[in-house]
Amino acid sequence: MSGTLQVAGLQTQGPGSPDSQIGPFTYALSQVQWNAAYNLVLGANTITVPPAAVAAQPAVILIIPPLGGFNTTLQLAGLYLSPNLPTLWAIDPANVPASFVLTAGAAVTVTIQAG
């Protein structure tokens, strides 16, 4: 699978502050190198990153919730992930982690892709 993913958004500052347009950022994906389903348990789940999975430039990891979303919390580095939308994590190719931790509020299955 190949293609591009473009991400853009609007950062709101609150009452009396100007809003800022963010992006668009475009990621070209030549081929998915890693596609795996993970059955996460309650608490911290360590995910090992296969070195070939992030050999592409730029290195990206996509965390995909199950169809219909999930009814629990899921965190990456303390940030709560969307229960309905994929999370794109762009990684510095010179500093790819050997693993990362997803913290689940309950058992849930997610798909993780990289390329």
Query: Is position 84 within any domain?
Result: yes
Query: Is position 65 within any domain?
Result: yes
What is the extent of the structural domain holding 63?
Answer: 32-114
User: What is the predicted pLDDT for the residue at 101?
Assistant: 95
Beta strand residue intervals within the chain, DSSP E: 3-11, 20-29, 34-40, 43-48, 59-64, 74-76, 79-80, 87-91, 99-104, 108-114
Query: Is position 7 within any domain?
Result: no
CB-based contact 55:33 (threshold 8 Å): yes
Of 4, 98, 79, 52, the residue nearest 63 (C-alpha)? 79
pLDDT top residue among 12 and 83: 83
Query: Is position 44 within any domain?
Result: yes
> Per-residue pLDDT tens for 15-74?
666 777 766 666 565 566 778 899 999 999 999 887 666 666 667 788 888 888 888 899
Query: Is position 46 within any domain?
Result: yes
CATH number for 90:
2.60.120
Query: Is position 20 within any domain?
Result: no
Q: How many domains does the chain have?
A: 1
